[in-house]
Structure 1
Amino acid sequence: MPLQHPKEPDIHPYTPLVTAACLMVSVTVINAPWASAIGVSVAVVASLIIRNKAATLAAVTIIIPACVSFSLMYGLFGSWATAAALSLRFAAVVGCGVMFDSLVNPDALMRALQTWLPASIVYVVGSVVRLIPMATSRMRAIQQIQRSRGVKSQRRKLVIPLVVGLVTDAAQRSRPLSRTGIAQPGRRTVLYPVRDRAWERMVRFGMVAVMCAACVWGIAG
């Protein structure tokens, strides 16, 4: 019986990723206001259920400037319908993508990918996924150090220490990784494999099938 990780997520990381991808592709390919409205509704309901303030704020921060840009580019020249359609579609795509991707556990995703992807690719993907949390943590540490020294914390004084620190961390991680044989071919085993329930696999396959049918219908229509 495989060991279970003490912080095992409730859902497999592939499930929210597939959900986000299917919704984003379907809304884009169908290219209709009603499809965009459904996408926005799904994103709003997801935000109310998930209650992730950071993800909601990130989605709103991305969507509002884009909607303003569409209004300036199309609305001021009389194409308010085009501006509204583009804004609604963009809000649906970004909202669904950000809200469902916020459910993905980075560690569980890396463990799931490690069973079939080369270790070097998993390391690159993991580095990208963890870049923002690592940068945030290091920035807080730099701010605390500067405050302890009586230095006023300013953004321009954080850039160089932050970049140098991230590069140094990457160099330090590369040495032990090279000794573990990360570049060697072959399948890897995982101490705590991610549990992939049968119903989740069925849901993912069903969503992909519905997405394909919606895309065919949207292209043919």
Structure 2
Amino acid sequence: MNPLTWIVTAASSWIVVLGLNELAVSAAVAVLAQLIAMVRLRNFSVLAATIALSIPVGLSMVVIHVPFGRNDWSTALELSVRFIALMSAFLTAASAIAVSELVKPLSHMPRVAYIVGSAVQLLPQGRDTLASVRYANHLRALSTHEHNTRGPLKTVEFVVLPLITRLLSAGAARAIPLEVSGLERTGRRTVLNPVKDTGVEKALRWLMPIVALVVVVWL
């Protein structure tokens, strides 16, 4: 399925969950999203990630609403299930999307495609850069975790500053390839191997948000 269809499906489910704000609807969306993820991935990775994110949120709901709220456990339960539904829909869509497939459908808007691709890849790039900076410090026999007053200063000097410098340098280095590839030029963009996108999916991407809004307003 086209990655844009996954995104619109998740967004439409958010509209329904937040708009109706019903426990049964939230539970149904959560269960459906988890079933789709399990069938696609044939594992419980999305379920495990959802549980890991939901446990602290659920505990915070209990701490906030049970001692001081009027509905006690029911309010905490409804808010927790709603959060689980939202995360289930988001994580299921995210698990089905590859960065390359997400950027290709946006090729007719090259600047938007570049911004989306860069934003999605920022976290893994930062993680890899941080690992290389720490390895460089290890080769220099430099510890940034010493328990003294210079510990935080050494962390800033030998980890934070090199990390920021390398990320900024990498961003500047991409300017020339982007200029060569014609990012600033006008005209239609094409890709050699476009992501599959059927007419039915295009129609669904318009209909799903409209139907979600209609359901929320009608009910």
**CA offset digits 1:26-75 (Å, max 9, x no partner):** 1111111110111221233234332373x555433432222222222211
Please state whether the residue corresponding to 1:135 is helix, strand or coil.
Answer: helix
Question: What's the counterpart of residue 84 of structure 2?
Answer: 91
CA contact (8 A) 2:15 2:213 kept: no
What CA deviation, in whole Å up to 9, does each residue of 1:101-127 have, x standing for no partner?
Answer: 221111111111112x2x222211211
Question: Which of structure 1's runs of 4+ aligned residues deviate more than 6 A?
Answer: none
TM-score by length of 2: 0.80
When structure 1 is superposed on structure 2, of 89-98 and 201-210 the one drifting more is 201-210
SS of the residue corresponding to residue 130 of structure 1 reads helix
Aligned counterparts, 1:185-200, within 5 A: 185-200=186-201
1:52 and 1:17 map into 2 onto residues whose CA distance is 21
Amino acid across the alignment from 1:149:
R
Structure 1 residues 121 and 198, CA, compared in 2 at 3 Å: closer, same or farther? closer
Aligned ranges for residues 66-77 of structure 1 at < 5 Å?
Answer: 66-77=57-68
Please identify the structure whose Cα radius of gyration is greater. 2
Label 1:14 to 1:52 Cα distance change in 2 as closer, same or farther (>3 A). Answer: farther
The question of 1:105 aligning with 2:62 is answered no
The equivalent of 1:20 in structure 2 is 10
- Among all aligned residue pairs of Structure 1 and Structure 2, give the percentage whose two residues are the same amino acid: 29
The alignment's TM-score, normalised by the length of structure 1, stands at 0.79
State the Cα distance separating 1:16 from its structure 2 match. Answer: 1.5
With 14-23 and 41-50 compared, the bigger mean Cα shift is at 41-50
Are 1:64 and 2:40 matched, yes or no?
A: no
RMSD over aligned Cα atoms: 2.6
Q: Which stretch of structure 1 is more off in the superposition, 192-201 or 162-171? A: 192-201
Structure-2 separation of matches of 1:62 and 1:105: 22
Specify the SS of the correspondent of 1:158.
helix
How far apart in 1 are the matches of 2:36 and 2:160?
35
Instruction: Say whether residues 1:216 and 2:212 are aligned partners.
Output: no
Unaligned runs of 5+ in 2: 146-151
Distance 1:149 1:52 in 2: 41
Residue 172 of structure 2 corresponds to: 171
CA deviations on 1:68-114 (whole Å, 9 max, x unpaired) are 22222211114322121111111111221122222111111111111
Offset, 1:214 = 2.0
What is the total number of aligned residue pairs between the two structures? 205
Note closer, same or farther for the CA distance 1:174–1:60 as it changes in structure 2 (3 Å cut): farther
For the residues of structure 2 that align with 1:124 and 1:204, how far apart are their CA atoms?
Answer: 22
Equivalent pair of 2:65/2:73 in contact (CA under 8 Å): yes
Q: Say whether the 8 Å CA contact 1:46–1:100 is kept in structure 2.
A: no
